Structure formats: structure tokens, C-alpha cells
Amino acid sequence: MQPSPLATSAAYSDGPYRVVQWATGTIGARALRAIVEHPNLTLAGVYSHNTAKQGRDAAELCGSDTPTGVRATGDIGEILRAAPDCVLYMPQTCDIDEVCRLLAAGANIVTTAGVFHHPGSMDPEVRARVEAACATGGTSIHSTGSSPGFITEAVPLVLASIQRRLDTLSIQEYADLSRRDSPAILFDIMGFGSPPGEFAQFRLDHLRNSFGPSLRLLADGIGLPLDEVTASGEFATATRTFDIAAGTIEQGTVAAQRITISGTSGGRTVLGFQAIWHCGEQAETEWEIRPTGWHLSVEGDAPLEIDMVFPFPLDQMAEHSPAYTANRAVNAVRYVCAAAPGIRTVLDLPPITATLG
């Protein structure tokens, strides 16, 4: 019998769980290494779309010194034959056909794709397909990560737990991306280096769709469901051409952005997320720029101001930053495997805790 999705962590087995790592980019490679080193997880397979990675031992793909005997494949059938308990699904683009095939075959999914943060915000047809696959396979799926996820759901829910009146809860995310060597993410997804005319509406729509569902979930959790989620923003262009780790920012193209996602309830703004993302000191702006990390402000009957700063030099960003997203996904495996079938959110699962010993 499956436990209730609201069961306490004591009801959750320590495993071992057989886990597949799906995709081995920057975040996926860090998650893969965490699976290999985890005391209660067993690596059951590795999936890669990259033919250059297929056939290579997982250890090569994640920087581990000890061969695992598990080689990457591009064959989903091979992954399913491995009969994993869970797939850590981390491709750059979420493929609903792949997701449904995995779920229907009996593999639970933890994913860094943001599609599943708030089931009520999903396309109804997609949601119905995914729920049906979960029912067929007796499986569950959960979206998580650092942002959205940890900072827009887990942390605010804890801060709200000492309030009896909440006026506003706002999150500011500061990120210097000059040392992040991820061209596809910075240029193709985040829009840096784009002409201003091609940037504005695309980015507003993208971030509203990325962070809006997470804010809606948070609002549902504290009993203040949102009437509307809006996006507004501004950007700064490069005054000269300069290089960052991911490539070149040409003069006159977008070098910094400040975008605000606001959630209103009862005619007032109660939740907000603001992304202040930039390409280093050469991305000149008039905005306040804080160290990479998060600032949270709570206005209510128990007011709070909290800074959460990444405490390492910028040249160590590539070494440390993938862990913020990958580790939470790895730590969620046992909870998602034990949850009732369906799309599960942080409101359905116990607080995610790590097994470190």
C-alpha cells in the first residue's frame, strides 16, 4: 500500500533505490556523481542524448575516480530494462512523451524541469497525460531545484510558518554569470547577448511561466491563492564588447536584466520574485547589485530580512553552483519513490532532508 503523500519522513524507506541519471550536462553530471557516492542509492543507468558520451562509463562523465561499470546509453528501452525505482530527469528540454513512457513503465521521476511545480498551472491535456501515466505505472513525479524550488517554495514556507499575518513576501535573486561556462543557457535561454528588441517580451513571458507556477504553489500552501501573476522588467546593454566564460557579449546587446514576477491576492501583491542577473562588472547598470545569492523580505506580524550569500570567490562558481540544484533533486528521491501516484509538489511531500552518513 502506498503511503499518503502527506506522510511523515519516518514512513519513508532509506532504500537502497535504483536510480537512473537522465542527461549529464552541468547539473546532471553533479547529480550523477551524487548518486554514485550516495550511501542509499545505486546507479542503475545513465541516459545521454550526446553520442560522444554514449558508451562511456558514468565515472568519466561525472569526474569520479572509480569506474562504475554503468555506461551511458541513448536507448530508452535499455533504461527501462534496468527497472529503475527513479529517474533523475534533467535534459535541457522536457519531453512529455519521454516522461510519460518512463512513468507508465514504473519509474518515478524527480526532475529539474519546471513543468510540474503547480499542477493547476499545467496545460490540462499535458496534465491529464502525465497523471494517466502515473496511474498506469503506480509512480509519481516531482519538480524541484534551487530556483524555482528551494528558494521559492521550501524556504518561504518555513518563513511563513512563524506568521499569522502576511503582507508581502519577496525574494530577490542576484547572480553574476560572467564565470558560468554554459553558452546554451546564457545565450539561448536567458537571452544575454541578444538585441534588445528581441529580448523584452520573450524574457517576461519565459520568467512568468518559469516562476509563476512556483509562486502559485506557495500561495496555495499558505492559504492566499493568487488571482494573477504578472511580469515586468528592464535590461541594460553592453557599452562595449567584452568576453565572459560562455562567449562574447557584443556592444549594444543585453548584458544585464532585472525582471520581477508578482503575485496578487485579493487585489494586493503578496508574493514577488525578482531576478537580477548580469554578466559581471562590465555589465554596467544603475541597479543595486549584491553578491550572488538571495535576499528575502517578509512583511507581516513577524517581519524578517534574510540574506543567503554564496560564500566563495567568483572563480569558484563553476565548481560549487551546480550543487544547489542537483543535490536537492538527489535528496528528494526517497520521498518521491514512496509518494502516492501522481504529480507531487512540496505541499504533498515531507520536508526534504539529506541522508549524509
Domain boundaries, the chain: 9-144+332-343, 150-318
Separation of alpha carbons 117 and 151, rounded Å: 13
Out of 167-171, 186-190, 240-244, least confident range: 186-190
Is residue 215 over pLDDT 60? yes
Q: Provide the whole-model pTM.
A: 0.93
The mean pLDDT value for 50-56 works out to 97
Fold matches, 9-144+332-343 and 150-318: no
Separation of alpha carbons 241 and 210, rounded Å: 30
Closest CA to 32 of 352, 328, 332, 326: 326
| Type of residue at 249 | I
Is residue 4 over pLDDT 50? no
At the top level of CATH, the class of 9-144+332-343 is alpha beta
Separation of alpha carbons 158 and 16, rounded Å: 29
Residue 296 C-alpha from the chain's centroid: 18
Separation of alpha carbons 51 and 301, rounded Å: 56
Choosing among 3.30.360, 1.10.287, 1.10.4160, 3.40.190, the CATH entry for 150-318 is 3.30.360
Is residue 356 over pLDDT 60? yes
The mean pLDDT value for 253-268 works out to 95
User: CB-based contacts of 186: which residues, under 8 Å, 6+ apart?
Assistant: 177, 180, 192, 193, 244, 246, 247, 279
Q: What are the tens digits of pLDDT across the range 284-311?
A: 788 888 999 999 999 999 999 999 999 9
Q: What are the tens digits of pLDDT across the range 135-186?
A: 999 999 999 999 999 999 999 999 999 999 999 999 999 999 998 888 988 9
Grid cell listed for 248 = 562574447
Find the DSSP H helices in the chain: 26-37, 58-62, 76-81, 96-104, 124-137, 155-160, 183, 196-221, 317-320, 322-331, 333-338
Identify the pLDDT of residue 180. Answer: 87
Is residue 10 over pLDDT 60? no
Q: What are the tens digits of pLDDT across the range 299-343?
A: 999 999 999 999 999 989 889 999 999 999 999 999 999 999 999
Radius of gyration of the chain from Cα atoms? Answer: 20
Is residue 9 over pLDDT 70? no
For 133, the 3-state DSSP assignment is helix
DSSP letter for each residue of 279-307: SSTTS--SS--PPSEEEEEEEESS-EEEE
